[in-house]
Amino acid sequence: MLPSRWNPWRGIILTLIIFVIEFGLHIVFAAKQWDILFLFVAIDMFFLTVCFAPIALILGGAANHHVGQQVIGIGTTIAVPLTMGFFWAVNDMTWSYWLIGSTTLPMLSQILWYRWERGLSNLIYRSVIVEEE
């Protein structure tokens, strides 16, 4: 059972489940030498790691702006090491200093999403605002 929409972990858990499934698929496709399927999964893993926080926000359906901000913060914290790991794997599993710079990609996606979402938050959340009694 997933947490409610009022819990920021709902989208994070869903996105992590998708990542684990894709990670397993990329191993299977590489072992079977199914190059096209491996390529599709690798490209999807790239977008999933870089845009982890916005994807978690969309999948979780945050109930209000505050929960959405929490999802973006937690998701970006998870996305930074995932992105660095993705680029480490693409770099033939060797360390390079440019891998540190790859961590700016999820931060950039978080900033862009925050700017876009902030401007549309009234349209997204107006119908689910609960007044305190």
Taking only the tens place, the pLDDT of each residue in 43-86 is: 999 999 988 988 888 888 777 778 888 888 898 889 888 888 88
Within a domain: 43: yes
Mean pLDDT of 18-38: 95
On whether residue 16 sits in a domain, the answer given is yes
pLDDT of residue 95: 78
pLDDT > 90: percent of the chain = 29
Residue 4 belongs to a domain: no
**Domain carrying residue 120:** 9-128
In this structure, is residue 105 part of a structural domain? yes
Q: What is the pLDDT of residue 33?
A: 94
Q: What is the pLDDT of residue 119?
A: 57
**CB of 3 closer than 8 Å to CB of 13:** yes
| Residue 3 resides in a domain | no
**HSE-up of 101 (CA within 13 Å, CB side)?**
3
Predicted pLDDT at 88:
84
Instruction: Please tell me the total count of domains within the chain.
Output: 1
Mean pLDDT confidence for 100-115:
74
- 110 falls within a domain: yes
pLDDT band at 114 (very low <50, low <70, confident <90, very high): low
Domain for residue 2, yes or no? no
CA distances from 51 to 5, 46, 57 (A): 20, 8, 10
The whole-model pTM stands at 0.75
- pLDDT for 54: 85
Residue 80 belongs to a domain: yes
